[in-house]
Amino acid sequence: MISIRLIPALLACSVFSETFSTTTASLADCLSNARVPASLPGSSNYKTLSLPYNLRLQYMPAAIVLPTTPQHVSSAVLCAASSKIKVQAKSGGHSYSGGQNGSMVISLESFQTVAVDSKGVAQVGGGARLGNIATGIYNQSKRALPHGVCPGVGIGGHATHGGYWYSSRRWGLTLDTIVALDVVLANGSFIHATSTSYTDIYWALRGAADSIGIVTTFYFQTQPAPTSVVNWVYEIPMANPNVAANAFSHIQSFSLNASVIDDKTGLGVTPSPSSFHISGTYHGDEATFRSKIAPEFLRTLPTPSSTTIKTLPWLDSLADMWGSPLPQPLTGYNNHDNFYAKSILVPESTPLTPSALLNFFTYIAINGSATTGWFSELNLLGGPASRVNNPQGPPSAYSARNSLWVVQNYATVPAAASANGITKPTIDFVKGLNDALGMGYGGYPNYVDPELSPSQAHGVYFNPSVYERLRGIKKVVDPQGVFWNPQAVGT
């Protein structure tokens, strides 16, 4: 049973005044009357602001709202609802998904706060980017969060649909560290959701916020940052698909071996037709990594063509993994790509089989060299002591708590060719990478596949009981479906 109590006085704080009537006003008039900053079609900055990160999926929003306060967000949502226009928030803009012409985009670029209190709780604005968050938290408190290492990614979608990297096996997903959220709901009300207040909304936001509300501020429980981290990389040649399949089978066995691996180790494998690029981190001392972890990891593998093992401070470790500085511009972020991606979550209870691995690496050997601009990465989520599969916080709407690997298959085209977009053969190649590993797997919610129908997406990203609970919450807090995207809950 779903029980959500919205305080009447709280709802009243966002009701329009008499001079703010939207009965007959157009969206533009409504936003203007509410004094909400926005860019509309024809505005001088509209073309730049409407350009998505993924150039493959371009749409023309009815308005791009540029709020500087939560009240602006609330007023914009009410204007959209009164005009029967759908809404989606934009944090960093790195969404893999698409949209539709005529919707409202609410950019959270001005919400950049990063502040850590005496209890280690980080208050983070909904538009902050990961590089700035990591830097701000560490510089203020010598603390850290588990999150991805692409510094330009915004916190909004990342944290509310998962958020992982190598430290997630030790600390959990970014989503698991959320202790509270300041949210604007579809009726324009403001709430502060926690495990004890607006509990159903708190549960739903951590896994499906795009369908529930707009998070203007996150509150994360941080961890003491390690003094240093061991970053390691092996480049290992693979003579043929059989060698590659046997090598990955060993890596998989290593990843399940509790006598060697614990939550201090994170790793990922990026295969090519002729080699593995394997990288990872170890939250321990380099001597232990060299004497205990590395020998067992390398046992039976082909001899590496190159090896890098180095001990780095926390922020340097993050920058080293991404290969670029962490700080990002607060305004005018202008990175773009043109890509298509799919994902797979491999259950720990049914690891990848030798036959599936042989099929996968055979597919890469036959087709990989003929396709340019692609990569496949298999990152370890589960294994002994993983906090991804055994979270310490309250339950959430994130479904995949039994995953061993998260696999991302991704293809892009160079900027010079971006006008032509991703070709169908390239899309088919990416789909073939997924299919080669087997059918019936779930997917990672932050690697949204826009080719999926709504019902397919709901089945891939949520288990049935979670989705049904989300649908019930959606009907209560957003009965008109104001917050929408092509795969939103309830579509």
State both tokens at 190: 């403001």
pLDDT tens readout for residues 344-372: 999 999 999 999 999 999 999 999 999 98
pLDDT at 11 over 70: no
Residues 289 and 282 sit within 8 Å (Cβ to Cβ): yes
pLDDT at 152 over 70: yes
Strands (E), 207-365: 214-221, 223-224, 229-237, 265-271, 275-282, 306-312, 339-347
DSSP 3-state helix, strand, coil percentages of the chain (rounded to 5)? 35, 20, 45
Which of 268, 315, 263 shows the shortest CA–CA distance to 284? 263
Largest CA distance in the chain: 75
DSSP state of 292: I
pLDDT at 168 over 80: yes
Model confidence at 181, in pLDDT bands (50, 70, 90)? very high
pLDDT tens readout for residues 196-229: 999 999 999 999 999 999 999 999 999 999 999 9
**Cα(214)–Cα(182) distance, integer angstroms:** 8
Percent of the chain with pLDDT over 70: 94
Which of 410, 490, 482, 431 shows the shortest CA–CA distance to 458? 490
Which of 66, 155, 157 shows the shortest CA–CA distance to 112? 155
pLDDT tens readout for residues 361-403: 999 999 999 998 999 999 999 999 999 999 998 999 999 999 9
Q: Write the CA distances from 364 to 223, 235, 272, 305, integer angstroms.
A: 39, 17, 7, 20
Task: Please give the average per-residue pLDDT across 276-282, as a whole number.
Answer: 98
The residue with greater pLDDT, 324 or 404, is 404
The pair phi, psi for residue 446, each rounded to 5°, is -85, -5
Percent of the chain with pLDDT over 90: 90
Q: Write down the mean pLDDT value for the chain.
A: 93
Model confidence at 21, in pLDDT bands (50, 70, 90)? very low
pLDDT at 465 over 90: yes
Write down the pLDDT at residue 415. Answer: 60
Which of 174, 283, 280 shows the shortest CA–CA distance to 227? 283
DSSP state of 87: E
Write down the pLDDT at residue 226. Answer: 98
* All residues at 6 or more sequence positions from 121 whose CB lies less than 8 Å from its CB, including other chains: 179, 219, 220, 221, 222
Write down the pLDDT at residue 13. Answer: 35
pLDDT at 84 over 50: yes
pTM of the model: 0.94
List the single range of 9-13, 332-336, 409-413 with lowest mean pLDDT: 9-13
Write down the pLDDT at residue 19. Answer: 33
pLDDT at 147 over 90: yes
Residues 400 and 344 sit within 8 Å (Cβ to Cβ): no
Write down the pLDDT at residue 245. Answer: 98
Task: Please give the average per-residue pLDDT across 53-72, as a whole number.
Answer: 96
pLDDT at 14 over 80: no
The pair phi, psi for residue 473, each rounded to 5°, is -65, -40
Residues 247 and 276 sit within 8 Å (Cβ to Cβ): yes
Task: Please give the average per-residue pLDDT across 22-36, as a whole number.
Answer: 81
Task: Please give the average per-residue pLDDT across 10-25, as a whole number.
Answer: 36
